Amino acid sequence: MTMESPMNVDLHCHSQVSDGLLAPDELVARAHRNGVDVLALTDHDEVGGLVQAAEAARTLGMRFVPGVEISVTWAGDTVHIVGLRIDPDDARLVEGLRETRSGRERRGREMAEQLAAVGIPGAFEGALAHVGNPQLISRTHFARFLVEQGVCRDVSDVFENYLVEGKPGYVPMRWAALSDAVDWILGAGGVAVIAHPGRYHYTPLQFHALYDEFLQLGGRGIEVVTGSHTPEQYREYAEVAKRYGFLASRGSDFHAPSESRIDLGRLPPLPAHLTPIWGEWF
């Protein structure tokens, strides 16, 4: 490894065990082809893909980090917390994730009722046809159904006109508490990271309170370079990382070849002045 070619580390992506389109082993193979040196699989509220992914990575001689992305409700809004280097068999983590997933089916049925009321019938069954894991029905699966039906042009179009606050198909959810999510991750031997902060609609004061509380709970990391951020936001959250003493993470948040703007391992490197979260792992 030289200064000119930092390790290609991608610590955030999804398989069909949550709302990605590829099987865990296909995802790992794609990352390897793209030159990724270290990959974390971080399915939403699920660790069910980690065994297959780790095995595929071992066969290819690629470093693999077991991860998860936990859905959290904080100050009335959804925040995603990524856990890295977790023990996927940790009993409290497993139980916490099971509970976090448990409201998804009922929510899906309510989403479908709302969509039916605006003239789009059959959305629950339609979304289910795209689901790889019946315990994890997500808005992404509804989005794929709406595209398939020709209701929307693509998945981003869906999230502008449906399934979000104020639009048909939006059902508010109470996800895990921030303190619980961080506890589960730390209890499973992992490190907790605030995912894609640029996506949250908090006031500056709320952001400050979120960072503060997260650090007090033992959270350590923040995603700076992610597929959800603009280059402007790379700079903004690099500043945040420095100001609050966060370790910086990099992750594509790749879901599908046809849907994701950024492919596995294809993000720019972390700004050089930051401390990478993987700095002491290898």
Q: Which residues bind ligand AMP (CB under 6 A)?
A: 19, 44, 71, 138-140, 155-156, 159, 255
From the list ligand AMP, Mn ion, none, partner contacted by residue 90 (C-beta under 5 to 8 A by kind): none
* Shortest reach from residue 6's CB to Mn ion, in Å: 22
Q: Rounded to an integer, what distance in angstroms lies between the CA atom of residue 276 and that of residue 9?
A: 10
**Helices 24-33 and 50-60: angle between axes, nearest 10 degrees:** 30
Nearest-5° Cα angle at 79, 213 to 132? 140
Q: Rounded to an integer, what distance in angstroms lies between the CA atom of residue 34 and that of residue 246?
A: 28
Task: Report the residue number, 24 or 276, with the smaller CB distance to ligand AMP.
Answer: 24
Task: Report the residue number, 8 or 140, with the smaller CB distance to ligand AMP.
Answer: 140
* Shortest reach from residue 159's CB to Mn ion, in Å: 11
| 19 beta partners | none
Q: How many CB atoms lie within 10 A of CB 164?
A: 13
Query: What are the structure tokens assigned to 192, written together?
Result: 């907790």
Q: Rounded to an integer, what distance in angstroms lies between the CA atom of residue 226 and that of residue 10?
A: 9
User: Could you list the residues that contact Mn ion (CB under 5 A)?
Assistant: 19, 69, 80, 195, 253
Task: Report the residue number, 116 or 173, with the smaller CB distance to ligand AMP.
Answer: 173
Task: Report the residue number, 139 or 250, with the smaller CB distance to ligand AMP.
Answer: 139
**Helices 231-244 and 204-217: angle between axes, nearest 10 degrees:** 50
Task: Report the residue number, 102 or 156, with the smaller CB distance to ligand AMP.
Answer: 156
* Shortest reach from residue 53's CB to ligand AMP, in Å: 18
* Shortest reach from residue 159's CB to ligand AMP, in Å: 3
* Shortest reach from residue 138's CB to ligand AMP, in Å: 3
